[in-house]
Amino acid sequence: MIIADVMLCDSNGERECDVEVIDGKIVRIAPHIEGDERTSYAGSYLLPCLVDTNVELLDGYLNSRHLDSIAQQALRGGIGTVVLMPNSTPAVDNEIVLEFLQKHRKQKLGANIETTVAATKEDETLSNIAIMLKKGALAPYMTTAISNNLACRIAEYVKMYDATLFCKAQDSSLSSVGVMVEGKMATKLGLVGIPPLGESVHVARMIEIARHYDIDIVFKSIASPRSIEMIRKAKEEGIKVYCEVGLHHLLLSDAACEGFNTTAKLNPPLQQYEDMLRLQGFLKSGQIDMLSVLHQPASPVNKDVAFFDAQYGSEAIEEALSLYYSKLVCSGMISMHDLVRLCVTNPARSIGREKGVIAEGENINAVVFNPNDCLHVKNRLSLYDGETLQGRVSTVFKNSRVIAL
């Protein structure tokens, strides 16, 4: 099989070429390759499959049907690896649930499914982190709604097993009563606001823990510009901390909640317009390490209620690559090369994988993305419902399989 006339874009840059694949392995990359099974994809990009390390299941329920569904949806969006958050029902906080997930890891017609594991149980006692890391868990995950003593004990396990800690910075005493960011829009709607301070205070706390224990921490779905400023300064001091930002927080402000729009009720909440612009500036200047579409799907029955009672989340995973390209690349915020770094190389590295390169001798795990095609979003549970996005995934090459979409 010869993938012909593509613009290959990976972590090494962009180049026009042909790619020859035999039995799922790339055997040759050259400006032009002759052969019988030559298919032209002129005008399209060949990109490594994306990696999203912040994905949730429908209504948070962990079962085989939801796993199969998320795998297929993700692949349609150009995502080859999804990493589930462990705060599901049941929670991924023991070996039994972990083993169940691992049996569903490899998906023939969908993205591969990985998971982090909850560092604490519902009663705020430590889960068996050591056993789960030995059984192949990618990383422990914690929220900062726990005591300093417990956070330090988790850090000790992370240090012992040379793992990376995934951390959600939030203040439970503030977020438990608020439903959107504090500001003029919350006041206008008569809703209780969540101060951005609740995130940045806990980021500062975890930076000091990372400094003391010399561990790697990835802050998940950062929304406050102040948090990113602190993470940048910590990096300059040699502390190994990194930040992930959700796509929605770069594109939308709390104004999306106007009219009690429950689709815009997210966790973390959308920020005020000025902070959204600051986040965009941090993206352009390279201070954001990785991106996520922050897929948090909720059934209509949990969204078609009063804003206060509505479940958090919005759907975006099926349009992932089209959203990134249309909203970030076409607008000039980032380049296609940056997109690979933010959505493949860095997220994969955070879970101990090396991805982002399409090279001879490697298995083919890539997507063909046609920037000249359009994708019409028809999903009322998406923040982009009714929009026409530029570009869409047409084909996925996954090892020896060719999946046309």
Q: Residue 262: which region, alpha, beta or left (left: phi > 0; alpha: psi -120 to 50)?
A: alpha
Give the domain extent around 171: 50-353
Residue 391 maps to a domain:
no
Residue 34 maps to a domain:
no
Q: What angle do CA 21, 108, 356 make, to 5 degrees?
A: 50
Residue 54 maps to a domain:
yes
Number of structural domains the chain divides into: 1
Please provide the size of the chain in residues: 405
Determine the Cα–Cα distance for residues 257 and 307; give it in Å rounded to an integer: 9
Determine the Cα–Cα distance for residues 340 and 331; give it in Å rounded to an integer: 16
Beta pairing partners, 376: 388
Nearest to 58 by CA among 79, 85, 94, 80: 85
Q: Which residue has the tokens 């910590």?
A: 234
Residue 285 maps to a domain:
yes
Determine the Cα–Cα distance for residues 29 and 359; give it in Å rounded to an integer: 7
Query: Quick one: pLDDT at residue 177?
Result: 79
What's the gap between Cα 112 and its chain centre? 14
Residue 371 maps to a domain:
no
Q: What angle do CA 259, 261, 264 make, to 5 degrees?
A: 135
DSSP structure class, residue 137? -
Residue 174 burial (CB count, 10 A): 18
Peptide bond into 268 cis (omega under 30): yes
Query: Quick one: pLDDT at residue 191?
Result: 95
Structure tokens, 224: 């406050």
Residue 400 maps to a domain:
no
CB neighbour class for 229 (10 Å; exposed up to 12, middle 13-18, buried from 19): middle
Determine the Cα–Cα distance for residues 118 and 141; give it in Å rounded to an integer: 5
Query: Quick one: pLDDT at residue 124?
Result: 86
CB-CB contact of 14 with 337 (8 Å): yes
Residue 316 maps to a domain:
yes
What secondary structure does DSSP assign to 205-228, as a single string?
Answer: HHHHHHHHHT-EEEE-S---HHHH
CATH of the domain at 214: 3.20.20.140
Query: Quick one: pLDDT at residue 172?
Result: 81
Single-letter residue type at 111: A
Mean pLDDT per 10-residue section of the chain, whose length is 405 residues: 96 94 94 92 97 97 95 96 96 96 85 95 92 92 94 96 96 81 96 92 97 98 97 98 98 97 97 98 97 97 96 96 98 96 97 94 95 96 97 92 87
Residue 364 maps to a domain:
no
Determine the Cα–Cα distance for residues 187 and 65; give it in Å rounded to an integer: 40
Structure tokens, 333: 């915020």
End-to-end CA distance of the chain: 18
Query: Quick one: pLDDT at residue 1?
Result: 93
Total-model pTM: 0.96
Structure tokens, 370: 């046609």
